[in-house]
A and B are shown apart, each in its own frame.
Chain A
Amino acid sequence: MDYFATVATLIVIQAIAACGLNVIVGYAGQISLGHAAFFGIGAYASAMLTTKAGLTFWQALPAALLITMLLGFLLGLPSLRVREDFLAITTIGINFIVEAVFIYTPFFGGALGIGGIPRVVVMGGRLGNNQFLALCLVFLVLSLALCRQFARAWAGLACFAVREDETAASSMGISPVRAKLSAFVLGTGMAGLAGTLYAHYARFISAGDFGFPVSISIMSMVVLGGMGTLFGPLLGAMIIGILPEIFRPLIDYRMFIYSVLLLLMIRFQPGGLLGDSSLVVGLLKSLKKLVKPKNIANPREIGGDGDV
């Protein structure tokens, strides 16, 4: 069961990070290829606070979230003024800079990373693997609830408007930079949450855990599952997390398989598995129709009130 818990916990943590990226990419339409930087900032913040400052997980968590969101705000402020390709390049740059800071600063443990991160303690007892998985699941549910609420609120609507047409959104009284920043800070906050959980899951972290390939992997989850959908990132994280476990013998060809998968998705299912005009959703709907044949009698239509 330990193997299951280990794999599942990592998937759940990555799903939280992917949900955050989905807010930035799917909701606000801003390409970020540096999401792992914020995943790393959350992990390092929590690791430093627990190992060096002696805080507990529960004390470090809000602080780590605040630090990540603050850095998200500061780095987002200049980045979100540029559009599309330039934003993609800027965020890649952020990822490499953050990774370099972790590697080359002795303060952050340098190339050795940070070890000895304590386990999470709840009511005096250290959490075992399964309990920690449950904790991560609780945070995933909270994250999904937050995303759902954001998408249904005006703040989310403003982001959708900016994604659809920035000029028109601006003429409707929405400050595009502000809308994009709100999505960016929310998304980086969720990356910070995932990072904090990751630090206490791995209990040893180093800069390599948060490099550019990790950003690409999180982006693949979002694209695969469906940008802008609520459960897409979760589905994407599950597929990308489970595939390498099933196809162990193919582990060496992992990056190759990811790339082919991503290319096929973009060619045939740009909306993702749960997005618009999705094959999966379409298939499920037609299955439903097969199982439940047409409603023959709609009493209103037949009985009618004579108007029709």
Chain B
Amino acid sequence: MSRALLEVHGISVVFGGLRAVDDVSFEIHDREILGLLGPNGAGKTTCFNAISGVYPPTLGDILLDGARTNGAPPHGMARLGVGRTFQIVRPFSGLSVRENVIVALGGPRYRGNLLRSLTSWRKKGIADEAGAILDRVGLLDVADRTSGQLPIGSLRRVEIARALALSPRLLLLDESFSGLRSTEIAQIEELIRSIREDGVSVLLIEHNMKVAMGLSDRVVVLDHGRKLAEGKPSEVASNQAVIEAYLGRGERGNVA
């Protein structure tokens, strides 16, 4: 295992009196798939939002490649190479699938250059580049359809395609498998593995245990905002505390 790409040092996120995330630490190495698991309300998405800059952590530090990033806005994190998807998909509904990708793809090329940003992207190679990304996630045939008309399975791919268009070093996937058919799940699993092969680290939140355990190199389990366990999927699956968090404790103190 190589050096850590992302280090999360004791972060807490507090909303009023609620500690949604409480002193959580973990790190992600280069080319690693880390699963972030936990029952509903464990603070997984809050953790994601803290890393991707939606809200800064109340306490603690987030380091990307050794540099402290907490406080950077979401667009700042995106530029640093952190791509993310949303649990409840958020496509740019009125735009075509290709345009959805070009929004992310065009940033490094056009941003900060007024005249350049006013040139049409249609004539340039950027439309083809977007096509290549869409081909990879299997959406090339619907590239010019309005994204709002697509079914959930395709929208999950749109989200991944957009994140890939940022050429990320770290990809945050928030339940990218939920609502998908089993054939689709297998395709996305394959896709995530190939993304990792390209040198991208992946942090994924997943409810489907079979998928999460099969895909992740390591997993971190959260419960009530705290880190409950961390380790290889097989170790964590047999961890007493983890089983209790998911299934509860029996009447006589036995694990159910």
Contact = CB atoms under 8 A, between A and B. Distances in A.
Given A171-B52, A172-B78, A164 B95 contact: yes
B118 A153 contact: yes
B238 interface: no
A230 to B, nearest CB: 14
A173 B92 contact: no
Interface string A60-98: 000000000000000000000000000000000000000
Size bracket of the B interface:
35 or more
B109 A175 contact: no
B112 to A, nearest CB: 9
A161 B75 CA distance: 13
B92 A161 contact: yes
Nearest to B85: A171
B110 interface: yes
19 contacts: A149-B120, A150-B118, A153-B110, A153-B120, A154-B110, A155-B118, A157-B95, A160-B94, A164-B91, A164-B92, A164-B95, A165-B90, A167-B90, A170-B74, A172-B104, A172-B165, A173-B75, A173-B78, A174-B103
Contacts of B111: 173
Contact of A154 (B84, B106, B166): B106
Interface string B63-94: 00000000001110111000110100011111
A168 B92 contact: yes
Interface of B: 52, 54, 73-75, 77-79, 83-84, 86, 90-95, 99, 102-104, 106-111, 114, 117-122, 162, 165-166
Interface residues on A, range: 20 to 34
A175 B73 CA distance: 9
B99 A157 contact: yes
B47 to A, nearest CB: 15
A158 interface: yes
Interface in A134-173: 149-150, 152-155, 157-158, 160-161, 163-165, 167-173
A157 B103 contact: yes
A19 B88 CA distance: 35
Contact of A175 (B75, B108, B118): B75
Among A150, A168, A169, A173, chain B packs the most CB atoms within 10 A around the CB of A173
Contact of A169 (B83, B103, B120): B103
